[in-house]
Amino acid sequence: MIIAVDGPTASGKGTIAKALAAHFGLPHLDTGLLYRAVGRQVFLNSGNPDDAADALAACTFDAALLDDPELRTEVSGGYASRVSIHPAVRAALFTRQQVFANQPGGAVLDGRDIATVIAPQADAKLFITATVSARAMRRWAEMKGLGVDVDRTEIEADLEARDTRDRNRAEAPLRQADGAELLDTSRLTKEMAVATAIALVEKQVTAKP
Radius of gyration over every alpha carbon of the chain, rounded to an integer in angstroms: 16
Q: Are 97 and 4 in contact (CB under 8 A)?
A: no
3-state secondary structure of 28: strand
Is 35 among the residues that bind ligand C5P (CB under 6 A)? yes
Is 49 among the residues that bind ligand C5P (CB under 6 A)? no
Binding to ligand C5P (CB under 6 A): which residues in 70-89? Answer: 77, 80-81, 84
With CB under 6 A as the contact rule, the residue among 86, 112, 125, 135 that binds ligand C5P is 112
CB of 207 to ligand C5P, least distance (A): 25
Is 166 among the residues that bind ligand C5P (CB under 6 A)? yes
Q: How many residues does the chain have?
A: 209
Q: Are 8 and 77 in contact (CB under 8 A)?
A: no
Among candidates 71, 49, 124, 59, which has minimal Cα distance to 96?
Answer: 59
Is 162 among the residues that bind ligand C5P (CB under 6 A)? yes
With CB under 6 A as the contact rule, the residue among 113, 115, 130, 197 that binds ligand C5P is 113
Q: Which residues pair with 28 in a beta bridge?
A: 108
Q: Determine the interface stretch with ligand C5P among 21-29, 45-53, 107-115, 133-141 (rule: CB under 6 A).
A: 107-115
Binding to ligand C5P (CB under 6 A): which residues in 5-34? Answer: 9, 31-32
Query: Strand (E) positions, the chain?
Result: 2-6, 28-30, 107-111, 124-129, 181-184
Is 38 among the residues that bind ligand C5P (CB under 6 A)? no
Question: CB-wise, 81 or 185, nearer to ligand C5P?
Answer: 81
Contacting residues toward ligand C5P, per CB under 6 A:
9, 31-32, 35-36, 77, 80-81, 84, 111-113, 162, 166
